[in-house]
Amino acid sequence: MENSKTFLCISNYFKGSDFLINLKKSGNKVYLVTSEKLRDKPWPHHYIDEIFYMEGQDVDWNLEHLLLGVGNFMKSTKIDAIVALDDYDVEKATYLRENLRIDGMGQTTGRYFRDKLAMRMRAKSCGIPIPAFCSLYNDHDINTFADTIEAPWVLKPRSEASASGIIKVFDKESLWIHINEMGNNRFKYLIEQFKPGDVYHCDSLISESKVIFSLTSKYLATPME
């Protein structure tokens, strides 16, 4: 087809089959990078030009090896777009786009919705009301937060999806016990004031600053309560 493009899709989970099928039906070339552990999953092979497999699962992927592999692939194939099929693949896609100078969202923008600290700092700078929060870089800042912000608090992994890995804390002593147990991983977390109440999430698709699709849903049960 005249407007045919070449898409490199990334997924470390078995998902996105409908997307891959329709992408191919639209006349595009479709390539997939996924985990070796997913080799035997029922991927829609008839709609994928080629599948490449990475060792490891999710965070175990070696990004330098991924970059080297995609870079070598580009010697013979021009990639028009890189698509992350899962939340956990956003960092991989932005890393490749930045290094290979492929159009699309880069690492800084990607952090605004994958890195919970960057997300909160961005929301605060835009004047959006959010619970009080603090990074875990500086001991003085953490103590000031604990002394001035009413408990309970939650320790949140900066990069995990949904409520994975969240720890609810009720006093300063317990807070420091948890932080010290994290060791060097403390910098991968943040602390935030816990706010009880209903929880909602909004899924949307935005193109050229226009909202194409938007759906707001309420959680059946609020996490951490």
Same domain, 83 and 132: no
What is the phi-psi region of residue 129: left when phi exceeds 0, alpha when psi lies from -120 to 50, beta otherwise?
Answer: beta
How many domains, the chain? 2
Same domain, 78 and 125: no
Same domain, 108 and 11: yes
Last residue of a domain, one of 62, 96, 113: 113
Report how far Cα 210 is from the mean position of its chain's Cα atoms: 22
pLDDT tens by residue, the chain, 225 residues: 568 999 999 999 999 999 999 999 999 999 999 999 999 999 999 999 999 999 876 567 899 999 999 999 999 999 999 999 998 899 999 999 999 999 999 999 888 888 999 999 999 999 999 999 999 999 999 999 999 999 999 999 998 665 568 999 999 999 999 999 999 999 999 999 999 999 898 999 988 999 999 999 999 887 776
Burial class of residue 129, CB neighbours in 10 A (0-12, 13-18, 19+): exposed
In a domain, 202, yes or no: no
Same domain, 12 and 60: yes
Q: Is the CB of residue 117 less than 8 Å from the CB of residue 87? A: no
In a domain, 223, yes or no: no
Same domain, 98 and 161: no
pLDDT at 33: 97
pLDDT at 161: 60
Element housing 112 (H / E): helix 107-114
Q: What is the CATH number of the domain that holds 164?
A: 3.30.1490.20
pTM of the model: 0.79
pLDDT at 2: 67
